[in-house]
Amino acid sequence: MDTERRLNKIKRELTGASRIMEKASDEIFNQEISNYPIFVISHDPINMGIVLAEKEQLKGNWNLYISTLEEFSAKKLIRQERINEFRKIYKDPEDFYCLFVIEDLGSKFVFIPIE
């Protein structure tokens, strides 16, 4: 499946979680935890961030977690020397959700528009 189709499929599957994602993101900002919330999605349970919803709750294929740039740095998922680069590519969280997608073939960051 090409990248754009995969992204659209992920967006469709997370549509039911938009309210949860919005609330989690707002809490990250309101409590001044981070300026860089990161939603982590994976097919299998992982030890990352805070669980927002399991795939059974979302009636889909993804478990949903909320994390931050700071946690990614602490767990060495983003090297210290790459943090400023990440901040530069991080899109406005008012308009986009930052997702870290973990799949069998690897993981990557994607930004999906908030609708």
Residue 113 lies in a domain: no
Q: What is the pLDDT of residues 16-62, one digit of tens each?
A: 899 999 999 999 999 999 999 999 999 999 999 999 999 988 888 89
Residue 65 lies in a domain: yes
User: Who wins on pLDDT, 2 or 103?
Assistant: 103
Residue-averaged pLDDT of the chain:
91
State how many domains the chain has. 1
Determine the structural domain holding residue 32 and report its residue range.
3-108
Residue 114 lies in a domain: no
Q: What's the pLDDT at 1?
A: 55
Tokens of 109: 């960051």
- φ, ψ of residue 50 in degrees (nearest 5): -115, 135
* Kind of pairing between the strands at 96-103 and 50-53: unpaired
